[in-house]
Amino acid sequence: MPHAARRGRRPGSPDTRAAILTEARALFAANGYAGTSVRAVASAAGVDAALVHHYFGTKDDLFLAALELPIDPRVALAPAIAAGPDGAGERMLRVFLSVWDDPELQLPLLGVFRGVVDPDGQRLLRDGFLPAVLGPVGVALGIDRPEVRMPLLASQVMGLILVRYVLAVEPVASMSADEVVAIYAPTLQRYLTGPLG
């Protein structure tokens, strides 16, 4: 009786996909990344967990879809990471700048970044983006103490976002990518591989 197993469950459809995403956003925001399971999202959306995986892939994929980032940072950063820790600060910064300096990507990214001041947005960033994206980057780079070093990297990158894109403070806002790299890549590289005192 296949229908019995689906009792009360909506069939797959574009609306179902949107419903899953809505519930995922609400649950990730309320309970953080670690406190949210694919099963819980599926249950809240009234669908099977398999359907969530079908539409979105892994829990990390679902989380990034819920963040509504215009790019997948894991894909964008992959080549910079694959080349290893030497020079990774500059390579990751160049990827970051190529994304944020693109006006079409910058606008939606600014929207996500503004969420940093409300509690839900904070939880998504702290309990989601850092463990789901930055943590794996640090591990993939093979650096020591990634759990310390990646938040340091994040602190300078987020400060750069604030000054260059959100506040548009001159002369940082108008600097070329090469000028930004000359100033900030040594900082990021030290946080990744240098002595921390």
Instruction: Return the half-sphere exposure (C-beta side, CA atoms, 13 A cut-off) of residue 27.
Output: 22
How many CB atoms within 10 Å of residue 73?
19
From 162, 165, 177, 193, residue interacting with a second copy (rule: CB under 8 A): 162
Could you say which residues in the range 101-140 bind a second copy, by CB under 8 A?
114, 116-117, 122, 125-126, 130
Based on the shown chain and the rule CB under 8 A, indicate whether residue 196 belongs to the binding site for a second copy.
yes
Reading the block at residue 29, the tokens are 């925001």
**Residues 6 or more apart in contact with residue 102 via CB below 8 angstroms:** none
Based on the shown chain and the rule CB under 8 A, indicate whether residue 144 belongs to the binding site for a second copy.
no
Helix (H) or strand (E) holding 20: helix 14-31
Applying CB under 8 A, the span of 3-11, 31-39, 43-51, 145-153 interacting with a second copy comes to: 145-153
Closer residue to a second copy (CB): 19 or 154: 154
Closer residue to a second copy (CB): 31 or 43: 31
Residue 192 contacts residue 88 (beta carbons within 8 Å): yes
Query: Considering the complex, what minimum distance in angstroms separates the CB of residue 82 from a second copy?
Result: 25
Query: Considering the complex, what minimum distance in angstroms separates the CB of residue 66 from a second copy?
Result: 18
